[in-house]
């Protein structure tokens, strides 16, 4: 891969992290300095991943909500293979709420944990019908009252179906912002709150997609492609993966191969 977005890094922060035993978060970095560094990295992410978007296929808020719930412990690609059949048979909350369990489980079988997911889909649809007249609500406070819907899922739906900015703190997002030294928190709600202070609100949804793309394509959980990462100049975790550019480029995944958890 030879995209100019994956630049040869100049890592001034690497020694600072090493001096702290490899801990990326620097408590001595001022809030202003951290904000400036975060926003510079966010701008670079926009250049690296101009194609970042929600990788779940949907045409309306109901489809996105169901697809997001089904995406737990499987890939977006797998969900996208299942949902055309699912939504052709159950196009709305009323139809899904009345679904035959055995037929629903058969459709969901490729996603894994299909019995539990059938329960989740039925419970979600029934709650939408009973409490919201079958419509997906457009407020965080309402969405998180639905069974199986937490802040992560709610932010996906709000940001991509309703245009309400939100930060999607999934496993990739949490891993990367901790590696960036933006937060030391592990709890997703606390991570969301701290990152919200660093990135302008209007950018939250697109920024989330870019971080997730970067986690899937470049900054992998087991072996980050540090030597091919355009963020390395500002990243205190530089060096946790191969720093040789040629070696690192072999780790960078193409969009077609990057759909992981």
Please give the positions annotated as active site: 152, 170
Residue 59 per-residue DSSP state: S
- In this structure, what are the phi and psi dihedrals at residue 82, rounded to the nearest 5 degrees? -90, -35
Q: What b/e readout covers 139-154, taking b as 16+ CB neighbours within 10 angstroms?
A: ebeebeebebbebbbb
Alpha helices in 27-147 (DSSP H): 31-48, 61-70, 76-89, 93-97, 101-108, 114-132, 140-143
* Both tokens assigned to 77: 């690609």
In the structure encoding, which two tokens stand for residue 236, read together? 């205190």
| Residue 71: DSSP 8-state | T
For tokens 């499987």, what's the residue?
74
Q: Are 197 and 183 in contact (CB under 8 A)?
A: no
């Amino acid at each position: 891969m030879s995209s100019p977005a994956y630049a040869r890094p100049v890592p001034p922060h690497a020694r600072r992290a090493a001096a702290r035993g490899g801990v990326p978060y620097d408590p001595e970095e001022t809030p202003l300095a951290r904000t400036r560094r975060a926003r510079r990295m966010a701008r670079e992410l926009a250049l690296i991943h101009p194609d970042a978007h929600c990788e779940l296929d949907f045409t309306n808020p109901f489809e996105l909500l169901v697809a997001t719930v089904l995406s737990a412990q499987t890939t977006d690609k797998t969900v996208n293979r299942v949902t055309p059949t699912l939504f052709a048979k159950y196009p709305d909350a009323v139809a899904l709420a009345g679904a035959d369990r055995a037929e629903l489980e058969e459709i969901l079988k490729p996603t894994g944990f299909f019995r539990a997911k059938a329960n989740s889909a039925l419970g979600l649809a029934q709650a939408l019908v009973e409490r919201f007249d079958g419509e997906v609500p457009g407020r965080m406070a309402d969405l998180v009252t639905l069974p199986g819907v937490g802040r992560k899922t709610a932010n996906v739906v709000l940001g991509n179906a309703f245009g309400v900015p939100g930060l999607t703190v999934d496993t990739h997002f949490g891993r990367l912002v901790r590696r960036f030294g933006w937060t030391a928190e592990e709890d997703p709600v606390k991570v969301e709150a701290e990152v919200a202070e660093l990135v302008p609100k209007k950018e939250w949804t697109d920024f989330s997609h870019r971080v997730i793309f970067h986690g899937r394509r470049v900054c992998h959980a087991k072996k980050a492609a540090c030597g091919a990462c355009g963020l390395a100049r500002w990243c205190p975790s530089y060096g946790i993966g191969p720093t040789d550019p040629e070696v690192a480029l072999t780790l960078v995944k193409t969009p077609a191969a990057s759909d992981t958890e």
